[in-house]
Amino acid sequence: MTSRTSLATPTTPPAAGAPGPAPANKPRDTYRWASRSFALPALAIVAVLLYLPFLWTTYLSFTEFNGLGDPEWVGLEKYREMFADAGFFTSVRNTLLWVVGTLVLPVGLGLFIAVLAHDIKGSFWYRLPFLLPYAISGVAVGVIWTFILQTGGALSEALAFLHLPGTELRWLLDAPLNTLVMIVAATWQGAGVNALLFGIGLQSIPKEPIEAARLDGASGWTLFRTMTWPMLAPLTTVVVGLAIVGSLKTFDIIWAMTKGGPGRSSETLALTMYKETFVNNDYGLGAAVAVLLTVVTVAASVLYLRRQLSDSKEL
């Protein structure tokens, strides 16, 4: 307490009649309140556009509601109906396939492209062809790949022309093959932006530790595993986190290519939510799926980020 008082006391006393110095914490408090006032509009927009719809959706999940009249409170009935539906577990399986496939293919391929193009003169131009599909909408990607993968489509015709096996495969009709080929379509669209992000991460790595490791004899896979990959960890956390969230809510490519069919064989939780709400007009069941999907997405993101942040603190 004594030392704090001595620091706050001016070394030169004020002249007689002059006003004393302002309290040391007043400018900081003024800045703090001003910054809070600037943040209030953004917080209000988030609350109105995100939190209030989620609270309304949560309420609807406990009701029977077809979009007309007033919702009727039914408690947990919609959640029991959701778990009793066999098609729901098909959606869960396909959603898990999307999560795993999105982590392995777009993220892995993006990292592979970035490492290959790193330290090459004009590397941006090597990554550009992979980046262009990201500018196309998911629906357009679905239309392009439907032309390629449909029965008797471009791929089947090419395989038949080259006398290669696979012409008998029904790419978009048989499960889980239809889900796997749609993940490939999503990879075509998303690998380029991951390569761009990993390329930025590689450029930010200091050269001195890499050169020191090379002088010690490290090269190739050993150099990447022991030096490059650990220093890419912060960016990898962001890329993988975005990939997990994006895969859990994938909708546009699936809707454009199969609409979740045939039957419900390629549905994900996002499509189940949409169909129950806007096709079957069962807003309560659709809201229950939406609440479950939100809880799973938030839980997966929090668990992954907590694990990565704890690992970075240990390093």
pLDDT in tens, 222-272: 888 888 888 888 888 888 888 888 888 889 999 999 998 898 899 999 999
- What band does 19 get if pLDDT is binned at 50, 70 and 90? low
- Reported as a single tens digit per residue, the pLDDT across 191-221 is 888 888 888 888 888 888 888 888 888 778 8
- What band does 1 get if pLDDT is binned at 50, 70 and 90? very low
Query: Is the separation of the CB atoms in 62 and 78 below 8 Å?
Result: yes
pLDDT given at position 230: 87
Residue 268's SS3 state is coil
| In the predicted structure, residue 173 carries a pLDDT above the cut 50 | yes
Tell me if the pTM is above 0.85. Answer: no
pLDDT given at position 9: 46
- 16: tokens are 């007689």
Closest CA to 73 of 92, 88, 58, 53: 58
- Please name the residue ranges forming H helices in 23-122: 26-46, 52-60, 77-84, 86-102, 108-117
Would you mind telling me the total number of residues written for the chain in this entry?
Answer: 315
